[in-house]
Amino acid sequence: MSTHPTDFRSDRRRFLRLGAIFSGALTACKPTRPVEQAEPSSLGGPLSPYGERSPSEKVARLPGFTRNPEIGSSRTPLQDSYGILTPSSLHFERHHSGVPRIDPAAHRLLLHGMVDRPLMLTLEDIHRLPSVSRVHFVECAGNSGSEWGPKLAPDAQKAHGLASCSEWTGVPLSILLAEAGVRPGASWIVAEGADACHMQRSVPLKKAAGDALIAFAQNGEAIRPEQGYPLRLLVPGWEGNMNVKWLRRIKVVEQPYMTKDETSKYTDLMADGTARQFTFEMDAKSLITFPSGGHKLAGPGVYEITGLAWSGRGRIDRVEVSTDGAKTWQNASLDEPRLRMAFTRFRIPWKWDGQEASLQSRCTDETGYVQPSREALLEARGPNSQYHNNCITIWKIAADGGVRNV
């Protein structure tokens, strides 16, 4: 088995020459006419105060719930994504008690506990403080849970859609902590949401005073209600649950509070029956988004394999792709910018010969951590785990072009 990735650039040149096969088809096309156009010269639609996508576009989140539609999660259609940003309208959702309707004028953020000067802040106060914008993924610890088996989810959305990536704008929590004056002996914070479940999570003070943000904007506008309007805690690279939405309170404390959202229900149960107390960081993961489960290749020929990679520990340094069942691997090209704790888009050209094929990607982050195979992950973690699955996904291409998760 060769693990030497070959240089993809020579392949790329071959690939572009193959573009010639499309040229006949292109010249044969008729010029486009707008749909339902009465006369070629009639005016188009009016101006609008808030934009909407083309009515021809149907890509959507996939809601899943057991009893009430307020409590559950909806998944991002990763297989239909372009680039690294998730449109806010397609950002996955995970709500424990529905989306609260919050009046921004009445909302307050309380910062108290082991501090010299407790703060009670309005949104106006928060907007006056220095802020930053950063691109980060949010991923639920339960994402890719189906990949533990035995029944694998059929497509990228169902398997991995509890992950999305946005540009978040907010005030570094470090600024508020410095303003309040953290007392000696404090080493954690507890963050609390204003939804009915009052989601509470303990975060080590080092992370809270490090890169955590009190975010009020997402992709250039106010955070969507589903994502925590008007404020959410953003804990870059750490499990989704810690990114407390509808944030109303931060208490500086001396130890983790072991809240209801931190019980054994949310831990990783190991093979020997012991559980990891906390698993904060999301391990490096990658998946091919095209072609992926549910897609159907039109026929033999040239395709661009593309996908997403991310790591809770920093930047993605490398993504390798195998199209022959992990016998050989090639380095994919990585779109810039490659941001820390953010989606990175990878691409590699591929010529499908019409035979059965097995496609997979494997990423390495800047710490040198390499994404494991399913066998390696199961060996390390045992059969009891539900959370924090980051194993390699294998898409099987059938001779008829159909794509399955195997």
Ligand X SMILES: Nc1nc2c(c(=O)[nH]1)N[C@H]1C(S)=C(S)[C@@H](COP(=O)(O)O)O[C@H]1N2
Q: Given the rule CB under 6 A, which residues bind ligand X? A: 91-96, 138, 140, 193, 195, 197, 199, 226-227, 240-241, 243-246
Minimum CB distance to ligand X, residue 282 (Å): 10
Bridging pattern class, strands 344-352 and 357-365: unpaired
Q: Which does 92 bind (CB under 5 to 8 A by kind): ligand X, Mo ion, none?
A: ligand X
Q: Find the helix or strand (DSSP H, E) in which 180 lies.
A: helix 173-180
Minimum CB distance to ligand X, residue 396 (Å): 29
Question: Residues interacting with Mo ion, by CB under 5 A?
Answer: 94, 140, 240-241
Minimum CB distance to ligand X, residue 233 (Å): 8
Give whichever of 72 and 204 is closer to Mo ion, judged by the CB atom.
72
Minimum CB distance to ligand X, residue 310 (Å): 14
Give whichever of 217 and 370 is closer to ligand X, judged by the CB atom.
217
Q: Which does 193 bind (CB under 5 to 8 A by kind): Mo ion, ligand X, none?
A: ligand X
Minimum CB distance to ligand X, residue 212 (Å): 13
Spatial distance between the Cα atoms of 387 and 306, rounded to a whole number of angstroms: 26
Minimum CB distance to Mo ion, residue 239 (Å): 7
Give whichever of 147 and 195 is closer to ligand X, judged by the CB atom.
195
CB neighbour list of residue 187: distance below 8 Å, 6 or more residues apart: 204, 205, 206, 253, 254, 255
CB neighbour list of residue 174: distance below 8 Å, 6 or more residues apart: 208, 209, 210, 212
- The sign of the CA dihedral 212, 218, 222, 228 is negative
Minimum CB distance to Mo ion, residue 381 (Å): 18
Give whichever of 72 and 301 is closer to Mo ion, judged by the CB atom.
72
DSSP letters, 77-132, are -GGG--SSPPPGGGS-EEESS------TTT--EEEEESBSS-EEE-HHHHHHS--E
Among candidate residues 136, 149, 245, the one with its CA nearest the CA of residue 200: 245
Q: Which does 227 bind (CB under 5 to 8 A by kind): ligand X, Mo ion, none?
A: ligand X
Bridging pattern class, strands 72-75 and 62-65: antiparallel
Q: Which does 138 bind (CB under 5 to 8 A by kind): ligand X, Mo ion, none?
A: ligand X
Q: Which does 243 bind (CB under 5 to 8 A by kind): Mo ion, ligand X, none?
A: ligand X
Taking CB atoms, the residue at the shortest distance from ligand X is 193
Give whichever of 94 and 201 is closer to Mo ion, judged by the CB atom.
94
Q: Which does 245 bind (CB under 5 to 8 A by kind): Mo ion, ligand X, none?
A: ligand X
Spatial distance between the Cα atoms of 397 and 323, rounded to a whole number of angstroms: 10
14-38: b (≥16 Cβ within 10 Å) or e: ebeeeeeeeeeeeeeeeeeeeeeee
Minimum CB distance to ligand X, residue 92 (Å): 5
Taking CB atoms, the residue at the shortest distance from Mo ion is 140
Among candidate residues 251, 233, 252, 253, the one with its CA nearest the CA of residue 243: 233
Spatial distance between the Cα atoms of 330 and 319, rounded to a whole number of angstroms: 8
Give whichever of 94 and 251 is closer to Mo ion, judged by the CB atom.
94
Give whichever of 282 and 334 is closer to Mo ion, judged by the CB atom.
282
Spatial distance between the Cα atoms of 106 and 360, rounded to a whole number of angstroms: 50
Give whichever of 140 and 309 is closer to ligand X, judged by the CB atom.
140
